[in-house]
Structure 1
Amino acid sequence: MLIKTRGIVLKTTAFSESSVIAKIFTESLGMQSYLINGVKKPRAKIPMNFLQSLHLLEFVFNQKSGGGLQRLSEANLSPAFRSIPYNLIKNTIVQFLNEVIYKSVHQDHKDENLFHFIYHALCWFDEVEEADVNFHLSFLLKLSRYLGFGPNLENNPLGNFFDLQEGDYQFMPPAHPYYLEKEDANAFFLLYQTSFENLNEIFLTRSQRKSLLDKILIYYNLHTASFGQIKSHLVLEEILS
């Protein structure tokens, strides 16, 4: 049966001389793997540049009744990015986000809310004229809500500590080391609550951004199975310095 859906490309692995297996987070089926033939040929029906990090696709595949690896029959960029591939800061941020999403999104079932959040955030980031240097921080905090461990805001966030392990704000620092001091906890709250369009109202120093990013990655590690070590944030920090 032929199925048409949208997807977000997360990873490709060489399968043969001209074919790859692509890991794609889809709108209708969640995380799926697809065999794509001939992508490295000069006149490929689905060229390799369609399969770059977090590219957005609309594609058709033949779903086999017996399971197994599905094969893509056609695909188009939907939409094609206009600035991300050509803007060094945007592209570096997207490479970093791709690694985090790949290690934290494991749903092999339909999750339209999660899909639409990632899809629309990427479309906005591509369309905005100038890349906000806090976008990746805000994106990851907002993403945590869709992954099931968004910050609990029942206690007043402003002027309190944030417990990374429990995921909530507390009046006193916890006994363990996984928490944010009040200044970082306030910034954490603002980045979580502020829309992407208004991120330019939040001013963070380079050292604050680095500290917050390190703590956000700890937060993901504490709440995501097999999250492991993220490597691309080192390149990101260098580019944003």
Structure 2
Amino acid sequence: MTFNINCIVLHAFMFNDSKMMVDVLSREEGRLSCVLNIGRSKAGRGRRQLFQPLSILELTLDRKAPGLLATVKDAHVAVAFANIPFDPYKLAISMFLAEFIANVTRSEKESEVLFDYISESLQWLDGARKDFSNFHLVFMMRLTRFVGFFPNLEDYSEGCAFDMQNGCFVDWAPQQRGFLTGDDATKMQTLMRMNYDNMRLFKMSHADRNRCLDVITDYYRLHVADFREMKSLSILRELFA
């Protein structure tokens, strides 16, 4: 069966001299793995370059039978990035987000709104000329809307705590793990108010930004089964010093 998908590349690797395994998030089918035959020709090597992390592609796939891996028959760039591949800061952010999205969406089924959010966010990053140092924080926080555990801001008041497990603010925190207090609770409330348009107004130090990254990562770790340690996290922490 031949079918078409719009997809975002999350991971790709060679598994023999002429074939590549590609892991994508598709608009039509959610997470999907497929095989790309690239051969040893110059054209094959050029085709391989299409499948960089977070590339947005249109693929024609062939699946011989249900449950079998699909094979890529044709591939075209759906959204051409003009800036991300050439900006070291944006490239580092995109490499981290590719690993992060792969971690969070391992069992994700078809979701047009999730796909569109990620696609539109990447296009925003590509077009941003400045003031994108908080982009990854806003992206991660807003993504919780689409994967089912966006925090509830309604009960926030100064000095309250944040219940990480239930995703809400509470008047007091018991002496146990899973609660944010003090500055960390305030950081969570601040992150929930940020979006791509206003994030430039929220000034953060390098230490603040990294602490926010840790807080969000811990929040995902509580809500995503088998959340894996991310190799690219240490690189991202060095950015925007």
TM-score by length of 1: 0.92
- Maintained 8 Å contact 2:93/2:236: yes
Find the counterpart in structure 2 of residue 170 from structure 1. 170
Find the counterpart in structure 2 of residue 76 from structure 1. 76
- Name segments (4+ residues, structure 1) moved above 6 Å: none
Report SS of the residue matched to 1:60: strand
1:46 deviation in Å?
Answer: 6.4
Residues 7-32 of structure 1 show CA distances to partners (whole Å, capped at 9, x for unaligned) of 01011132220210100110000000
Unaligned 5+ runs, structure 1: none
Residues 69-120 of structure 1 show CA distances to partners (whole Å, capped at 9, x for unaligned) of 1011111111111111110111111111111111110235211111111111
CA distance change for structure 1 residues 108 and 166 in 2, over 3 Å: closer, same or farther?
A: closer
Find the counterpart in structure 2 of residue 85 from structure 1. 85
Matching of residues 37-186 of structure 1 within 5 Å: 37-38=37-38, 41-44=41-44, 47-130=47-130, 132-156=132-156, 159-186=159-186
Establish whether residue 228 from structure 1 lines up as the match of residue 228 from structure 2. yes
Find the counterpart in structure 1 of residue 12 from structure 2. 12
Matching of residues 28-39 of structure 1 within 5 Å: 28-38=28-38
Letter in 2 for 1:60: T
- Maintained 8 Å contact 1:39/1:46: no
Instruction: Say how many residue pairs are matched.
Output: 241
Q: Structure 1: how far apart are the matches of 2:139 and 2:40?
A: 33
Report SS of the residue matched to 1:59: strand
Q: Structure 2: how far apart are the matches of 1:189 and 1:163?
A: 12
Q: Structure 1: how far apart are the matches of 2:178 and 2:199?
A: 26
Letter in 1 for 2:230: I
Q: Structure 1: how far apart are the matches of 2:160 and 2:98?
A: 32
RMSD (Å), alpha carbons: 1.9
- Maintained 8 Å contact 2:156/2:189: no
Report SS of the residue matched to 1:169: strand
1:52 deviation in Å?
Answer: 1.0
Letter in 2 for 1:109: K
CA distance change for structure 1 residues 171 and 228 in 2, over 3 Å: closer, same or farther?
A: same
TM-score by length of 2: 0.92
- Maintained 8 Å contact 2:184/2:215: no
CA distance change for structure 1 residues 18 and 222 in 2, over 3 Å: closer, same or farther?
A: same
Find the counterpart in structure 2 of residue 210 from structure 1. 210
Bigger drift between 50-59 and 159-168 goes to 159-168
Q: Structure 2: how far apart are the matches of 1:208 and 1:119?
A: 27
Q: Structure 2: how far apart are the matches of 1:66 and 1:207?
A: 49
Letter in 2 for 1:10: L
Find the counterpart in structure 2 of residue 240 from structure 1. 240
Unaligned 5+ runs, structure 2: none
Q: Structure 2: how far apart are the matches of 1:47 and 1:13?
A: 13
The share of aligned pairs that are identical, in percent, is 30
